[in-house]
Amino acid sequence: MPKGPLTEPQQDQPRTHKPRHRRRGFCFSGTLPASEWTLKMTFTSDTEIERIARGLVDRTLPKAEWTHAGHFAAALWLVRADFEAAQRDMPGMIRAYNESVGGINSDTEGYHETITQASLRAARLSLTKAAADTPLHFVLKDLMAGEFGKPDWLLTYWSKPVLFSVAARREWVAPDLQPLPF
């Protein structure tokens, strides 16, 4: 599988973007067994969660750590501080982070508004279900063990054509299969 966002050019051909439907972050349509993706997405302290979030903010997080759980770790850390600020600021943080690791934010890859906003809402719901003093790594563990921890959870609410549309990538698009539970 190619590591970069571009396909290798053939002789004298320009580089082209290759649309991908497999996602590393909030949602992907891969087929990892549940036991495999759950084990790869565990945090054992709030310090680890803060390190992920600060790595996103200051663009020092290794790309390999920007996983489904990494996205939710950063989301929980930001939402616990201020949900409205997280909704406002996380899009820019993700775009800047993507570019810092060589990614491209385009109509086919990189930042995705609908996925980000739905996931921030899922993070907020997880925080409201937990006691206010619950350590974030426990909140994240519960979130990852539930519906939102499944890499393809968004496909319960959105069809692939709608979720992976240019419109949904650029701006919030409401679910077309069923309403979100929050």
Tens-place pLDDT, residues 81-127: 999 999 999 999 999 999 999 999 999 999 999 999 999 999 999 99
CA atoms of 59 and 122, how far apart (whole Å): 24
CA atoms of 72 and 144, how far apart (whole Å): 9
pLDDT at 153 exceeding the cut of 80: yes
Average per-residue pLDDT for the chain: 84
Average pLDDT over residues 31-50: 67
Q: What is the pLDDT of residue 68?
A: 94
User: What are the structural domain ranges in the chain?
Assistant: 41-170
**pLDDT class for 42, splitting at 50, 70, 90?**
confident
136, 80 Cβ separation under 8 angstroms: yes
Percent of the chain predicted with pLDDT > 90: 77
Q: What is the pLDDT of residue 161?
A: 98
The separation between the first and the last C-alpha atoms of the chain, rounded to the nearest angstrom, is 36
pLDDT at 139 exceeding the cut of 70: yes
pLDDT at 171 exceeding the cut of 70: yes
